[in-house]
Amino acid sequence: MTLGTRKLRYFIAIADAGAVSRAAATLNVAQSALSHHIVELEAELGVKLLERQARGVALTGAGRRLYEHASAILAALDKAETDVKTFSEVASGPVSVGLCPTAVEAISLQLMLAVRKSCPKVHLTVIEGMSPNLLERVFLGEICLTAMYNPPKDPRLASQAILDEELYLVGCPDIIGRSSQPIAFADIPEGSIVGLNAPPGSRAIIHAQILRNQITPSPALEIASLSALRKALQGGLGCSILARTTVAADLAEGLLHARRIVQPTLTRALHIVSLANRPHTHAFVEVKALLSNVISGAVDAGAWPAKLVSRGGPIELSAFQNGAIE
């Protein structure tokens, strides 16, 4: 076979080292043998993979593409080997879960408790990020699965819609009005939207591009941090389009005010997303099920005001009683 694992590992090593001599020293392989493998690989593929330079080598365009494929292939092989060697009836091993800020607020603690109780041998890593950043890390193989909003339709992804939630205009009463009545989309103050969802930011506001284009963002401020956004809203620097769950604590303490947006109603869809067509470990399957379960439990308990699209398995609602979100 042209793309044998040895050739791919040698190619990756040379690309990472930036020189055949350095790769040879790292691999403890003769430099001539490495050079022969690269020449053979280029001949078989019919493309040039490396540009020889005075102080080493650099990847060509074709070389960069092969590097991406080779990295994914070798990572999958290493993962398969680890999975088979460590397989048992008890889920074990590492699983990384990406959570958007709203999911962190609503279910991160319940997820960690559920994994500790049901899968004590799983090493869980929880990573917070905005939906586009989480998706990028899924594609890079840095995150096993993620709870994120409005993922793109992509054949490389396995995506399960789990809930829909309405969006609100959030800010100080002096900016969005003191009324608790809904506010029409057309009445959103122009030039006042700051933060996480300001165009041309993430896809997490709403599905309809035409509506996103009608939102006039603040000309002076854009924020990609939830903590900084909350401070800005509390300080009267603007308003933002968010779910109530995202700023539940601030609303409960009276630090911020929220008004439901209507004409039209704005919603966003939460999905559990992972790479498709990639073998998953026993631990991955168990943690994914637990993630779905705790999200369903949060909605059932009223801790996450939203409408379930699909449902995970049963979970004790008492887990959410002390931290229920109004």
Predicted structure pTM score = 0.66
pLDDT, residue 194, reads: 84
For residue 278, pLDDT over 90 is answered with no
CA distance 10 to 215: 51
Q: Write down the domain spans for the chain.
A: 5-84, 93-161+270-296+318-323, 168-265
Top-confidence range, 64-73, 190-199, 207-216:
64-73
For residue 317, pLDDT over 50 is answered with no
Q: Which bin fits 277, alpha (ψ -120 to 50), beta or left (φ > 0)? A: left
- Residue predicted with more confidence, 199 or 72: 72
Under DSSP, the state recorded for 189 is P
**Of 255, 236, 218, 220, which is closest to residue 176 (Cα–Cα)?**
236
Q: How much is the average pLDDT of 100-125?
A: 94
Q: How much is the average pLDDT of 195-209?
A: 46
Q: How much is the average pLDDT of 230-251?
A: 91
- Residue predicted with more confidence, 198 or 304: 304
Lowest mean pLDDT among 19-23, 109-113, 279-283: 279-283
How many angstroms separate the Cα of 61 from the Cα of each of 53, 64, 67, 220, 280?
15, 5, 10, 39, 31
pLDDT, residue 314, reads: 54
Q: How much is the average pLDDT of 189-207?
A: 58
84 CB-near residues (< 8 Å, 6+ apart): none
**3-class SS at 173?**
helix
CATH of domain 93-161+270-296+318-323: 3.40.190.10
Q: Percent of the chain, pLDDT > 90?
A: 45
Beta strands in the chain (DSSP E): 50-53, 56-59, 93-99, 122-128, 145-149, 157-166, 168-171, 183-184, 240-242, 257-262, 267-275, 307-308
Residue recorded with tokens 């057309």: 186
Residue 300: phi, psi to the nearest 5?
-60, -35
Do the Cβ atoms of 110 and 297 come closer than 8 Å? yes
**3-class SS at 88?**
coil
- Residue predicted with more confidence, 140 or 207: 140
Under DSSP, the state recorded for 156 is T
Q: Where are the alpha helices (DSSP H) in 30-99?
A: 31-45, 61-86
Lowest mean pLDDT among 194-203, 277-286, 316-325: 316-325
For residue 200, pLDDT over 50 is answered with no
Q: What is the pLDDT of residues 22-45, one digit of tens each?
A: 988 988 889 898 888 888 888 888
Do the Cβ atoms of 84 and 281 come closer than 8 Å? no
Fold (topology level) of 168-265 = D-Maltodextrin-Binding Protein; domain 2 (3.40.190)
Residue 93: phi, psi to the nearest 5?
105, 180
Is 5-84 in CATH node 3.90.1170.50? no
Do the Cβ atoms of 99 and 108 come closer than 8 Å? yes
Q: What is the pLDDT of residues 134-161, one digit of tens each?
A: 999 999 889 999 999 989 889 999 999 9
Q: How confident is the model at residue 132 (pLDDT cuts 50, 70, 90)?
A: confident
Please indicate whether the domains covering 93-161+270-296+318-323 and 168-265 agree at the CATH topology level: yes
